[in-house]
């Protein structure tokens, strides 16, 4: 039985219509996703994602990529307030980076952990308060889906078929049921959705 104070594990990711988080060109091929990242619906979705979270759980690739981008947004007074709110949250919050190769932490308020996503989530759930947000780190999201440890999915569906690239929902995941708790459609046809795990 779970009590009401238990930390939720949430995850945020953008996908194409064919379920991919990058295109055929590899991890940097975001051509089918980036055009929808700065829409009104996407920015409101971004705010929704971090508001209840007190810990960011990241894979190494995302941690390094985010470090090169978001701190400058946090400091930019001309940035969209929603982007800046998220950027400041990300800079200031506790960050846990899953990596077997990093030897030093890439950010302040960050620790690098050489452990499985499931073990790290168990430890975080036992020691803190607030949501644990897995932020666009597909490898971590996949591991937590496989272990059935995700409580909420924030999905942004971009109205393009990439035709190649990596998929979030791999074969062999355990079956699970989800309840749609929020949806919003943007002007470009992008859809922001929030799904809660039905247990």
Query: In the chain, what are the domain boundaries?
Result: 11-197
Q: What is the mean pLDDT of residues 102-108?
A: 84
Asked whether the predicted pLDDT for residue 87 surpasses 60, the reply is: yes
Give per-residue pLDDT as tens, 136-194. 999 999 999 999 999 999 999 999 999 999 999 999 999 999 999 999 999 999 999 99
pLDDT band at 128 (very low <50, low <70, confident <90, very high): confident
Q: Which residue has the higher pLDDT, 173 or 67?
A: 173
Alpha-carbon distance of 168 to 176, in angstroms, equals: 15
Torsion of CA 5, 41, 154, 73, to 10 degrees: -80
pLDDT band at 6 (very low <50, low <70, confident <90, very high): confident
Q: What is the pTM of this model?
A: 0.93
Q: Which CATH architecture has domain 11-197?
A: 3-Layer(aba) Sandwich (3.40)
Task: Provide the pLDDT for residue 5.
Answer: 60
Alpha carbon separation from 195 to 25, 32, 180, 181 (Å, rounded): 29, 22, 5, 6
């Amino acid at each position: 039985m779970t009590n009401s104070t238990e930390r939720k594990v949430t995850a945020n990711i953008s996908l194409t219509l064919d379920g991919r988080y990058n295109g055929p060109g590899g991890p940097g091929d975001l051509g089918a996703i980036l055009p929808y990242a700065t829409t009104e619906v996407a920015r409101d979705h971004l705010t929704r994602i971090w508001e209840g979270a007190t810990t960011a759980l990241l894979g190494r690739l995302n941690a390094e990529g985010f470090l090169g981008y978001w701190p400058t947004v946090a400091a930019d007074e001309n940035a969209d307030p929603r982007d800046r709110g998220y950027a400041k949250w990300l800079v200031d919050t506790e960050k846990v980076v899953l990596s077997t190769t990093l030897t030093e932490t890439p950010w302040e308020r960050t620790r690098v952990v050489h452990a499985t996503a499931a073990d790290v989530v168990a430890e975080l759930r036992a020691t803190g308060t607030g949501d644990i947000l897995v932020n666009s780190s597909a490898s971590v999201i996949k591991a937590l889906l496989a272990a059935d440890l995700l409580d909420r999915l924030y999905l942004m569906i971009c109205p393009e078929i990439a035709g190649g690239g990596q998929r979030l929902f791999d074969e062999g995941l355990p079956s699970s049921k989800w309840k749609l708790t929020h949806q919003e459609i943007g002007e470009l046809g992008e859809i922001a959705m929030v799904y809660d795990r039905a247990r």
